Structure 1
Amino acid sequence: MIATMILVLFVLATFPCYFQLLVESQTPLGYLGQWQLLQASIGISAMHMQLLHNDKVIMFDRTDFGPSNLPLPYGHCRVDPYDKALTTDCTAHSLLYDIATNSFRPLMVQTDTWCSSASVLPNGTLVQTGGFNDGERNIRMFTPCWDETCDWIEFPGYLSQRRWYATNQILPDGRVIVVGGRRQFNYEFYPKNQNNNSPIHLSFLQETSDPNDENNLYPFLHLLPDGNLFIFANTRSVLFDYNQNRVIKEFPPIPGNDPRNYPSSGSSILLPLDENKDYIEAEIMVCGGAPRSSFEGALQGNYMQALSTCGRLKVTDQNPTWVMEEMPLARVMGDMILLPNDEVVIINGVSLGTAGWEHGRGPVVTPVLFRPYENIGSPWRFSIMPPASRPRLYHSSAVLLKDGRVLVGGSNPHVFYNFTEVEYPTDLSLEAFSPPYLSPMVDQVRPNINYMTSAILGYRVFSYITFTVTRYTSASEVSVRIIAPSFTTHSFGMNQRMVVLKMVGVTQVNVDTYYATIVGPSTAQIAPPGYYMLFVVHAGIPSSGLWVQVQ
């Protein structure tokens, strides 16, 4: 009885616009999200993951820890005299997953991609940078396809410096900035400047590095509406003008003096940018991580409690300060994924220890939904979702799919593919988490996109979308937003971004069909050129997405 009352209150608070509909239809309550096992084994650990605009997901781990469980096609082997495990390897360490058919095929990477970074170019090509050992200065490119003949193309030695644990961000002009990496206190661009390919020193990275060159790896990068970068490393963050190579402002350190970057491995997102406001606010959120000295403690078998705090910083304020709050579950190595209805899911990770081989304990298998529009302290601010059946520790990842599910894979908490005699075996499975908005009990208020003027979304250009919905509430409950898919690895979704498009109006066409007039993004600083998933959201429930190209 108590459980039922809690579910009723959850639905009432989360979906107030159609709670009466559920009562009238006597729809059973009880859907708080759902897990689905997609593949018991894909043969590799999904350490790095990127959704492409043809609804394929490219995944890869690393080449230097022995044979995977996914063979390459007959007669294909990777021959690498510099590999630390196998100089001849006839197994794959990358694959292409097809969402519609739940199938996958192996891909060939030539050099080590461990702890690398990536961005998708405006034309949809994935540019993947760096890695370890013989892959540390290489870039690799993959153009979306499904044909058996297409694969990675590698460009050895393209990068000016080794990029291991670096972070990428797509820029308004279509270039990619590659920032940092282990013992790399500098940045560079792709494509490189033909006149000067030297790395550009960034003293902030050196200042935030501890004596072991840790806690500022995989720095959090977010492109802000003014075109500058927000960079967070260790406990500090700055507003950075990469065109002039100067720090414009340093923000206050996040309270607590505990690091949030690898190996402390919290996560960070840029909350949605809303074009319907007179002034577009940009707010950064950083959640979880591990206390200082956690890495050293784990080496001695002392697994410290992970951090349970989230910090929010409205960087567009004149004098921004961190606002701190508590998550219901402490978590390190958690992934934060923007959902199309303004919610954020925090998923994967552990409650004890830190990132690194054998350094995590106490898997946190229950996702948490965070609702930034609820007041701090509200009981609906955070909600705990149903638990997964599998722990996802070090080297797990998650991405949002066009149908609204969250794809989850990986977990390789120790060196090599160990499946026995270890506490947490390597996990090669693939799962999907369906948030509560995918419940069948809200189908009557779920919009379905029928038509859009064009798959090209021009800057400041008007577009029209028609959608159907069985139970319409009001125009004030309709919004359209675009989401850039992230390259996710090591608890950070690079290039992840949501923009709520300016809504001109909603007009009824017939009994259940409506069309919405929207305006394309106002600037490339707000939405860099490239492919985005477009969603119509009605009464807090999103449609399935539609791929559009912003240009």
Structure 2
Amino acid sequence: MTPNLILIFFLLHLSLFKFVPRAAAAGGQWALLQPNIGIVAMHMQLLSNDRVVIFDRTDFGLSNISLPNGKCRIDKTDTALKTDCSAHSIEYDVASNTIRPLTVLTDVWCSSGAVLPDGRLLQTGGFNDGDHAVRIYRPCSDCDWDEIKSGLTQRRWYATNQILPDGRQIIIGGRRQFNYEFYPKTNSDSKAYNLRFLVETNDPKIENNLYPLVFLNVDGNLFIFANNRAILFDYTKDVVVRNYPKLPDQNPRSYPSTGSGVLLPLKSFQGGKIGAEVLVCGGAPKGSHISAMNGKFVGALNTCGRIKITDPKPVWIMETMPLARVMGDMVLLPNGNVLIINGGATGTAGWEFGRDPVLKPVVYWPDNSIGSRFEIQNPSTIPRMYHSTAVLLRDGRVLIGGSNPHMYYNFTGVFSPTELRLEAFFAVVFKFGIQ
């Protein structure tokens, strides 16, 4: 982004957010957008019409918003309600700051998805009656979810989706699924394919390889990270092209030791070739999940690993964050910086297994020298633990929602109540003339 574009971007937001100079100890501004959206923002996706689809699991009983036009969801296998007339999905209109209830029928708990080339959201898998489901949401003023209950070959729960150059999505892994498949299906390619890497990274006691991090590399292959290691995978030939070294500290970064990761902005390295780097931050040390199950909450990891995945001999460069964090979210900002937000300082992901909310976001400056890449931001007042989310909006703000560390909707008598508020965070840390 050029200095002029950054200046225009800043002036557009000056009326809403106070500018904080780069040298300040903390920056960024928070705004409460909605005091109650009716559901937990477990999943969020910005669409091309500047609206955000938000959804939560369907088997938690009544949400705080009703389905439209007197609709009800009938599910004889639901463990909470057989007849549920509350919504578990909404559409948030960014421009008007309004919400509209939507109808999702199958359970989207810990599902996965990505946006198709035509702008539709494809969401796959989930729990119980949703584990084989494919759901499609089209961006339009009055659209609702379309669902294909048996659209997948295998059960997908805690899997990862990645859009491919040909417009298909690859769906990788999931609980007790050491394989991958594609969607849409074709007559010649409708099966699942084994992926031994997912077996090798599986911890039989707690797995620690769920929701693998997947990024499309510049050579067309897939960088897949699970537990504490990664591969470069040629999905067209079903072949592992490269095994990357393990993280030096050997600690897991996948669910339930949940860290987060981003593909950093592409740039030219020596020789003029376009290179790619991946940044993986936070998580929980080995044994943390079992400790949390026994009531002992171990401190989260305060490290990040960064690797040039296109290098002939790539190595992990470890960096230290100013704040330890598990269950954090990472969002790539318009100026190429990375926002690290949400999560806790102890424990792991899962019901009742995380503690000590981290209220202060951190901005990571990838082009600064090591030792000067992290900047702590102003804190929120709302804890965002298990089942919280963050997505970038078109105006540069980051939409923040969710947090439900407990079974069902519990608003009192728990350490971190179910959270229905929706916030926006704006990281005003642009460095004029440098970016």
TM-score, structure 2 length as denominator? 0.93
- 2:152 aligns with one of 150, 159, 163: 159
Check if 1:116 corresponds to 2:108. no
State which structure, 1 or 2, has the greater radius of gyration over its C-alpha atoms. Answer: 1
Check if 1:134 corresponds to 2:129. yes
Check if 1:306 corresponds to 2:268. no
- 1:224 aligns with one of 217, 220, 243: 217
- Deviation, 1:193, is 2.7
**Contact 1:311/1:325, CA 8 A, preserved across alignment:** yes
Question: CA-to-partner distance for each residue in 1:95-137, whole Å, 9 max, x for gaps?
Answer: 0000001000100001100000011110001111000000000
User: 1:49 maps to what in 2?
Assistant: 44
Question: CA-to-partner distance for each residue in 1:264-315, whole Å, 9 max, x for gaps?
Answer: 0000110001379821111011000001111111111100000001000101
User: 1:425 maps to what in 2?
Assistant: 417
Which amino acid is the alignment partner of residue 98 of structure 1?
D
Give me the whole-angstrom Cα distance separating, in 2, the residues matched to 1:311 and 1:264. Answer: 15
User: 2:404 maps to what in 1?
Assistant: 412
- Deviation, 1:402, is 0.5
- 2:260 aligns with one of 234, 256, 267: 267
Check if 1:146 corresponds to 2:141. yes
Which amino acid is the alignment partner of residue 76 of structure 1?
K
User: 2:311 maps to what in 1?
Assistant: 317
- Deviation, 1:49, is 0.6
Match runs of 1:461-500 below 5 Å: none
- Deviation, 1:196, is 3.6
- 1:200 aligns with one of 173, 186, 193: 193
Check if 1:333 corresponds to 2:293. no
SS at match of 1:297: helix
Match runs of 1:288-303 below 5 Å: 288-303=282-297
- Deviation, 1:411, is 0.2
SS at match of 2:291: helix
Match runs of 1:173-184 below 5 Å: 173-184=166-177
User: 2:16 maps to what in 1?
Assistant: none
Aligned residues: 416
- 1:361 aligns with one of 330, 355, 360: 355
Give me the whole-angstrom Cα distance separating, in 1, the residues matched to 2:420 and 2:197. Answer: 38
Match runs of 1:1-16 below 5 Å: none
- 1:83 aligns with one of 72, 78, 84: 78
- Deviation, 1:74, is 3.7
Question: CA-to-partner distance for each residue in 1:319-346, whole Å, 9 max, x for gaps?
Answer: 0010001000000001011011111110
Which amino acid is the alignment partner of residue 209 of structure 1?
N
- Deviation, 1:206, is 0.8
Q: Runs of 5+ in structure 1 lacking a partner?
A: 1-13, 19-26, 446-476, 478-538, 541-551
**Contact 2:226/2:253, CA 8 A, preserved across alignment:** yes
User: 2:378 maps to what in 1?
Assistant: 386
Which amino acid is the alignment partner of residue 66 of structure 1?
G
**Contact 1:310/1:324, CA 8 A, preserved across alignment:** yes
**Contact 1:182/1:213, CA 8 A, preserved across alignment:** no
Which amino acid is the alignment partner of residue 291 of structure 1?
P
SS at match of 1:285: strand
**Contact 1:112/1:132, CA 8 A, preserved across alignment:** yes
RMSD: 1.9
**Contact 1:183/1:213, CA 8 A, preserved across alignment:** no
Match runs of 1:70-109 below 5 Å: 70-109=65-104
**Contact 1:358/1:414, CA 8 A, preserved across alignment:** yes
**Contact 2:268/2:275, CA 8 A, preserved across alignment:** no
Give me the whole-angstrom Cα distance separating, in 1, the residues matched to 2:79 and 2:278. Answer: 39
**Contact 1:287/1:309, CA 8 A, preserved across alignment:** yes
Give me the whole-angstrom Cα distance separating, in 1, the residues matched to 2:111 and 2:208. Answer: 16
Give me the whole-angstrom Cα distance separating, in 1, the residues matched to 2:401 and 2:140. Answer: 22
Give me the whole-angstrom Cα distance separating, in 2, the residues matched to 1:213 and 1:205. Answer: 13
- Deviation, 1:430, is 0.2
SS at match of 2:207: coil
Give me the whole-angstrom Cα distance separating, in 1, the residues matched to 2:104 and 2:187. Answer: 27
SS at match of 1:436: coil
**Contact 1:42/1:104, CA 8 A, preserved across alignment:** yes
Question: CA-to-partner distance for each residue in 1:200-245, whole Å, 9 max, x for gaps?
Answer: 0001101110113521000000000000000001011000000000
Bigger Cα displacement from structure 2, 302-311 vs 369-378: 369-378
SS at match of 2:70: coil
**Contact 1:417/1:426, CA 8 A, preserved across alignment:** yes
**Contact 2:20/2:28, CA 8 A, preserved across alignment:** no
**Contact 1:260/1:289, CA 8 A, preserved across alignment:** yes
**Contact 1:307/1:331, CA 8 A, preserved across alignment:** yes
Give me the whole-angstrom Cα distance separating, in 1, the residues matched to 2:387 and 2:41. Answer: 7
**Contact 1:44/1:69, CA 8 A, preserved across alignment:** yes
Give me the whole-angstrom Cα distance separating, in 2, the residues matched to 1:156 and 1:237. Answer: 32
Which amino acid is the alignment partner of residue 103 of structure 2?
M
Check if 1:278 corresponds to 2:238. no
Give me the whole-angstrom Cα distance separating, in 2, the residues matched to 1:301 and 1:273. Answer: 43
**Contact 2:106/2:149, CA 8 A, preserved across alignment:** no
Identity over aligned pairs, percent:
59
User: 1:214 maps to what in 2?
Assistant: 207
**Contact 2:399/2:422, CA 8 A, preserved across alignment:** yes
**Contact 2:206/2:289, CA 8 A, preserved across alignment:** no
Give me the whole-angstrom Cα distance separating, in 1, the residues matched to 2:224 and 2:27. Answer: 35
**Contact 1:348/1:391, CA 8 A, preserved across alignment:** yes
Which amino acid is the alignment partner of residue 76 of structure 2?
P
Which amino acid is the alignment partner of residue 144 of structure 2?
D
User: 1:435 maps to what in 2?
Assistant: 427
- The change in CA–CA distance for 1:209 and 1:404 in structure 2 (over 3 A counts) is same
- 2:64 aligns with one of 57, 63, 69: 69
Which amino acid is the alignment partner of residue 79 of structure 1?
I
SS at match of 2:199: helix
Which amino acid is the alignment partner of residue 280 of structure 2?
V
Question: CA-to-partner distance for each residue in 1:72-113, whole Å, 9 max, x for gaps?
Answer: 124200011121211110000000000001000100001100
Which amino acid is the alignment partner of residue 391 of structure 1?
P
**Contact 1:167/1:180, CA 8 A, preserved across alignment:** yes
